[in-house]
Structure 1
């Protein structure tokens, strides 16, 4: 039974395999027929239909041969490209293996060097001991010295030392013996140079912005000067000529010191190493202060100038009239028309024949005619002297209004924002007082001189009336005695 069963199973398997092969062959024939049909359809669409079935069969065979040739070429090209791809794949795998091997070696080397570095650091720390703290102090000292030397005028002569100290203060390594000696040398050179007067060439920026290399003179660590005036030192920058120099006497003393041939000569220096000169440079001039007063300040200045011109002109005129009056007093018999006394004397001579009362009226009229001329512009000068302080008070009020408006908008955090209003308030007050005080003195001088001249006229008129009264009285007495 078992042998028969095996035979039956083997026969069934062969039948199934045969049937399978039959099915495959049937499918191949079917596919070929379809391909032929499609080929015939395409041929019928593109070419003319063959006249006979033999010609159609011949065309199908030719197309099959052409298709087989094309397929063989494609298979050959595919096999060739497959071999090339396989070769490239093998090369890439070999490169990958080589790179992995090198990576393993480099990783191993990195790990070994990292362990060596840790060991060396530990050894360095053990061997340095307290020197680590010492070198930290050295770096801190180098940083402090660098900050100090940046502000020193001596750096204008030795600008390269800042870079050397910066490298010492920023380094992470232990300083060498040469670097320590360089630090000591810079400290010693700073102390030595602070007591020297040295001339050297350096770039100087002038007031107009032009930069030129000039010969400058350093006076210790206090000032750097040239024949044009005092210079300003800017850290890590060129020297600058001060826009606002000291007084003319100070500059004359400086030029005399530069040209002096003796060992001792006077010179004005700034012991604060230029701070005072910088402050003086920032101080505004009188014109700038006047401009800070705004419109009110300009009005006060104009009123003051007008009042001063009127007062000085009138004072000079009264002095000229007073001189002519003195000359007239020396010659009372010859009246001149260039002075009020001469004109009054001329009226006396013209009206001398009249009686005493009429003569007195004529003289009073002549004096009253001269008084307005002598008191001219006095009221205007007095008015300007009174208006100037009032204008200053007006400027003070307007300046405080501006200040409070600024506080309302920006608060009190930045005092510089309020400086403009406060400056206007104070400057206008000062300008009003400056204009009023000399005007008051001028008004007093003018008034006193005019009053003195009027008194001279009154005195001379009274003398003339007394003289005329005496003459008339003598003539009357003589007539009565006759």
Structure 2
């Protein structure tokens, strides 16, 4: 409801009453003028008629104005009454809202206290949860560490060759696929005790081995704890029992027959032990190391002279490569430094504008790469960024030839060594064909020299080329890393200098 409507209505009535009074005054003025300027008789008569008409009109207008004024007053009183009613309703509503607001404030206070209590309880529960998680993580880590140790033990144990996937149950625990359960812990304890028991037993079992021809064979296996395995199987050639030692492979977890059979005396001892006639049997306490030494191995020092004259250039390449590698190692070792502590110290000096301290710090290590190039840039600290970057780039380019020295030579030697080996192979085969031409192919010993020369040079060439190539790759990577590091620290130094200059300008 618009509260201003009664006031506007009263103003309208007042304006109409003033307009009516103005019109009456204008009429009287006109009447006076007519009396003054018209003839007396006619004027009197006309004046009386006009006055009567005007009086009647005036009466009608006054009556109309009184009616309108009464209506406006009634409407104003009605509106005033309605406004008062609305005011009372609004006052009651406001009081109701105030009461509700007080109730809500009380409820909010109770809820705030409840939230505070719940928050304290939540923090307490979170602390307990964190403590519980820490304890669980510690326990889980201990169990997983034990599982890894047990897995390594089982993989390295020769007993694993007699059972497939002996350590498979440890994978979910080790790879954190699930939290370790009591069943896992019991299984780990059982596996540990089983390994302890088996490691102290001497027993005969039937299992699968890989024989000397690389075939899978079922054999009778004598297990002497975790030290030695001895196999007995029927020979495919003679039909007689074949007896020998076994080697255990951690990678495949299988037994491999030793490529060389034991001598007759060792065989007789094993046979007597299996028959119960002896109480002792040969055991390799090194767990396979002594058995591998038992086989015939070629001595490289004895084979090298058989490679012919091409061997000596290959050995010369090896010696030259070793000298280059030694020189490079000494070179990088003398100029190597940890850049981060140095840059942190330099950053602190640049931040406070201690340029003399920066110069002294760089000069104290100017034989190193990074301080040397940064010392060059210090003289350009008052120049533009482009000038400083150009100076640093020039300093880095000046260091690159010394860093890359002999790297290409090492790559060339790695390429030449196998070519010389191939050349030795060709010359050895030529000598073999010459022997065949003159003496025929009846005596293999006559051809063994050329074949040995062909094989030894190839072997020696590859033996020299492979490590040289490896060292060349590592050295190239080291060179790239060092150059990238110098460029990175150079850019970082430029940013330090201009950041310090900008801060000085702002202050």
TM-score by length of 2: 0.38
Larger Rg: 1
